[in-house]
DNA sequence: ATGAAAGCGCTAACAC
DNA sequence: GTGTTAGCGCTTTCAT
């Protein structure tokens, strides 16, 4: 394998000049650049990225710590993030944390070993009480989601309360009053579940309706379809009438629709359903799912841009908090509005 | 940041001994190991992975080139591969190729730059005619899927023909004779589409049935749900009776079910549907989808093990071809067998 | 079972 | 605009 010194010899220049050419250093005579590139081609030279990384201390790789890619929200988010990174010449090392504390702590340690320059971190197991773990990490970190907050790190998140309130309002506007919630968690974390429940509660309160505990569907084992179906079945089994459902993500909503239809409920006539996330599947369910688009593409783009700016020193001194705009996407699972 | 020399000084040993301890070299006196580990803890030392990589020439990172993670099959496959790699102490750099030739060629070039030690490659745009591109790459490559074949590289794949034949037989056994196919491609590649069509054709031929071209649903724009719905609608619009559907993946099948139900067909009574892949969604559709489980977990495990063995020199000299076993998972979209 | 010396291939810092 | 020098922090090689 030829090295930079071989290229330099062949081109009749120094290794540093070859390095300059290959790094895009601008002040180089055109004739020199051409000579160097010709030598590169003739030798079939490919730069040894590991030597460059070692010497420069920058890998050009950022970590992405998410619970799991099989969940459509994270799979689609990962695609958006990989694309945003690619456009900036960054590679991404994905570390699925499996919803575990150890997995997330391991992801936080990784950049210290210098394999990645910074981290995009979507916590699911760590809690608000662990926020101090994000201080003085020694590398740039961008927090995603709403599991924890810190005034000391960059954070990109979504309008959880507003989204859930808008979803609930949509059902209330359609005259629904027995609105179940799917996706409650017993654990007292500051995560999406609590925020989305707050939106639900606020929407009801604004119309003077109190929360009926029999309408709360619990999904402590994860926001998968199966748990959505189970939680919906639990609510129906409790014997309470239901004419609307706010699910805390689309997978839960699709599972809930399944449970409703198995029990002979018609959607949206008997029960109207709203999800959260706008995953691709939401377009093709039967009926298609009305849902909250949390602005996923914007989240990916802003998060990567922010991390990139931190790495290049282009970001502001103060930590940035970016909240993407949500919007409701109306489809067949809710009645058409007049 | 402390270096290995700092740890060595503190522990009263040489840098090499520290290196030996941290690399798991077995022949080290227990007392020495303890002294070294104590020094590591006291200094809060973390090894500089980039220096290790640079010197050793091995990154411990393998590339995974797949079309996109948003497609559930690839998202779930990626999770399985990441887990199999994690168990072996390997990191994975995912490179979505976006179904493009350039994306796939870029992925093939990446290991030459030494950022990854080897590559797991699931081609979608390259074709059989490009197989020579896989020769003499200078790094270990494991091919996934059936887009291209080569006798010169390791290959892990699935029983495409057998799976599609079994899916078709299941419908034939149920008395269905007007069986549509969803997922035909016009491009003459050696991919899954052609193999699965072969299985379909063989199953029909075994019963003396010829293929009716009006029953072929084309999905050249990708195997997404929307295209499955569109292809199914095209077949129905052609005015031919349909009592069964073999879809070449689950997303197409779910889209086809949507189109069938929109047009008032009952599943499985009017039309029975079988998919391919056994993605998680297949369990929660309405009705739940009968599908071919291609052995995805086995594919991930074997592919990573094979690449790992190549990197450590433990693999056999000859290229390995591993074909995972398929099995049919019967659910509500096909009639119950007596 | 441990140590000493060498050097991987590149870029930072500075010289000219 | 380009060259010189030095050295990043580890592992390899070889010695003991």
- A322 contacts A146 by C-beta, under 8 angstroms: no
| pLDDT higher than 70, residue B13 | yes
The confidence band for B145, taking pLDDT boundaries of 50, 70 and 90, is very high
- B81 contacts B64 by C-beta, under 8 angstroms: yes
- A186 contacts A264 by C-beta, under 8 angstroms: no
Considering chain A, what is the average pLDDT of its residues? 94
* Range of A186-190, A281-285, B221-225, B264-268 with top mean pLDDT: B264-268
Q: List, for residues B197-244, the tens digit of each pLDDT value.
A: 999 999 999 999 999 999 999 999 888 888 999 999 999 999 999 999
How far is residue A22's CA from residue B265's CA, in Å, rounded to a whole number? 62
- B203 contacts B174 by C-beta, under 8 angstroms: no
In this complex, the residue of B79, B112, B255 whose CB is nearest that of residue A69 is: B79
Determine the protein residue whose CA lies at the shortest distance from the C1' of D9: B51
A142: distance to nearest CA of chain B, Å?
Answer: 20
Q: List, for residues B71-125, the tens digit of each pLDDT value.
A: 889 999 999 999 999 999 899 999 999 989 999 999 998 888 778 999 999 999 9
| Alpha-carbon A249 to chain mean position | 13
CATH top-level class of A4-46: mainly alpha
Question: How buried is residue A71: exposed, middle or buried, by Cβ count under 10 Å (0-12/13-18/19+)?
Answer: buried
A257: distance to nearest CA of chain B, Å?
Answer: 9
Asked whether the beta carbons of residue B79 and residue A92 sit closer than 8 angstroms, the reply is no
Tokens encoding B152 = 């010169």
How far is residue B264's CA from residue B250's CA, in Å, rounded to a whole number? 21
Select from A247, A73, A261 the least CA-distant residue to B280.
A73
User: What percent of chain B shows pLDDT beyond 70?
Assistant: 99
Q: Do domains A4-46 and A57-158+296-326 have the same CATH topology?
A: no
A49: distance to nearest CA of chain B, Å?
Answer: 6
Asked whether the beta carbons of residue B258 and residue A286 sit closer than 8 angstroms, the reply is yes
- Strand D–CB B15 distance below 7 A: yes
H helices, E strands: number in chain B: 11, 12
Domain boundaries, chain A: 4-46, 57-158+296-326, 160-293
Distances (CA, A) of B285 to A239, B182, B259: 25, 18, 14
The pLDDT of residue A120 is: 97
Q: List, for residues B255-265, the tens digit of each pLDDT value.
A: 999 999 989 99
Q: Which residues of B touch A280 (CB under 8 A)?
A: 70, 224-225
Q: Which residues of chain A between 19 and 78 are close to nucleic strand D, CB under 7 A?
A: 20, 25, 27-29, 31-33, 54-55
The pLDDT of residue B312 is: 86
| pLDDT higher than 70, residue A301 | yes
- Strand D–CB B55 distance below 7 A: yes
| pLDDT higher than 70, residue A183 | yes
CA of A273, C1' of D15: distance in angstroms: 76
Nearest chain A residue to B46 by CA: give it. A113
Asked whether the beta carbons of residue A284 and residue B229 sit closer than 8 angstroms, the reply is yes
A35 contacts: CB under 8 Å, gap ≥ 6: A11, A12, A13
Q: List strand residue ranges (DSSP E) for chain A, in order.
A: 61-66, 91-96, 118-121, 141-144, 154-158, 179-184, 216-218, 244-247, 272-276, 290-293, 321-324, 327-329
Helices (H), chain B: 4-11, 15-22, 30-43, 49-56, 72-87, 101-109, 160-173, 192-206, 225-237, 250-262, 296-312
Structural domain B160-293, CATH architecture: 3-Layer(aba) Sandwich (3.40)
The pLDDT of residue A190 is: 61
How far is residue A167's CA from residue A249's CA, in Å, rounded to a whole number? 11
| pLDDT higher than 80, residue B159 | yes
Nearest chain A residue to B109 by CA: give it. A46
Q: List, for residues A82-121, the tens digit of each pLDDT value.
A: 999 999 989 999 999 998 999 999 999 888 888 899 999 9
Asked whether the beta carbons of residue A93 and residue B96 sit closer than 8 angstroms, the reply is no
Nearest chain A residue to B106 by CA: give it. A86
Arithmetic mean of pLDDT, A38-58? 92
- Strand D–CB B1 distance below 7 A: yes
The pLDDT of residue B138 is: 87
The pLDDT of residue A115 is: 86
How far is residue A56's CA from residue A66's CA, in Å, rounded to a whole number? 28
Arithmetic mean of pLDDT, A288-305? 97
Arithmetic mean of pLDDT, A15-36? 93
Nearest chain B residue to A61 by CA: give it. B93
| pLDDT higher than 80, residue A189 | no
The confidence band for A237, taking pLDDT boundaries of 50, 70 and 90, is very high
- B36 contacts B11 by C-beta, under 8 angstroms: yes
| Chain C nucleotides with an atom closer than 7 Å to a protein C-beta | 1-5, 7-13
The confidence band for A338, taking pLDDT boundaries of 50, 70 and 90, is low
The pLDDT of residue B338 is: 67
The pLDDT of residue A276 is: 98
Asked whether the beta carbons of residue A96 and residue B79 sit closer than 8 angstroms, the reply is yes
- A147 contacts A123 by C-beta, under 8 angstroms: yes
| A57-158+296-326 homologous superfamily | Response regulator (3.40.50.2300)
| pLDDT higher than 80, residue B189 | no
């Amino acid at each position: 394998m030829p090295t930079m010194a071989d290229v330099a010899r062949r081109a009749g220049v120094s290794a540093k000049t070859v390095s300059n050419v290959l790094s895009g250093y601008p002040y180089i005579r055109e004739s020199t650049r051409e000579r160097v590139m010709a030598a590169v081609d003739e030798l079939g030279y490919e730069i040894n990225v590991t030597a460059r990384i070692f010497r420069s201390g920058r890998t050009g790789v950022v970590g992405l710590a998410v619970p799991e890619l099989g969940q459509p929200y994270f799979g689609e988010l990962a695609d958006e993030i990989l694309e945003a990174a690619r456009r900036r010449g960054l590679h991404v090392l994905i570390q699925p944390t499996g919803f575990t504390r150890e997995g997330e702590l391991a992801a936080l340690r990784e950049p210290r070993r210098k394999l990645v320059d910074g981290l995009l971190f979507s916590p699911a197991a760590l809690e608000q009480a662990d926020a101090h773990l994000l201080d003085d990490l020694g590398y740039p970190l961008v927090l995603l989601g709403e599991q924890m907050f810190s005034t000391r790190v960059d954070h990109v998140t979504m309008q959880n309360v507003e989204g859930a309130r808008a979803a609930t309002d949509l059902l209330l506007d359609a005259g629904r009053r027995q609105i179940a919630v799917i996706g409650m968690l017993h654990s007292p974390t500051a995560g999406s579940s609590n925020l989305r429940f707050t939106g639900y509660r606020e929407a009801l309160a604004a119309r003077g309706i109190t929360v009926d505990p029999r309408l709360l569907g619990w999904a402590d084992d994860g926001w998968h379809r199966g748990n959505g179906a189970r939680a919906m079945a639990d609510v129906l089994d409790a014997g309470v009438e239901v004419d609307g459902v706010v699910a805390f993500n689309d997978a839960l909503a699709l599972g809930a629709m399944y449970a409703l239809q198995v029990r002979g409920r018609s959607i949206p006539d008997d029960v109207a359903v709203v999800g959260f996330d706008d995953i691709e599947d939401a377009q093709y369910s039967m009926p298609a799912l009305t849902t909250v688009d949390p602005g996923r593409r914007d989240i990916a783009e802003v998060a990567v841009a922010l991390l990139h700016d931190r790495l290049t020193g282009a970001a502001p001194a103060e930590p940035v908090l970016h909240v993407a705009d949500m919007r409701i996407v109306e489809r067949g699972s809710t009645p058409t509005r007049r």
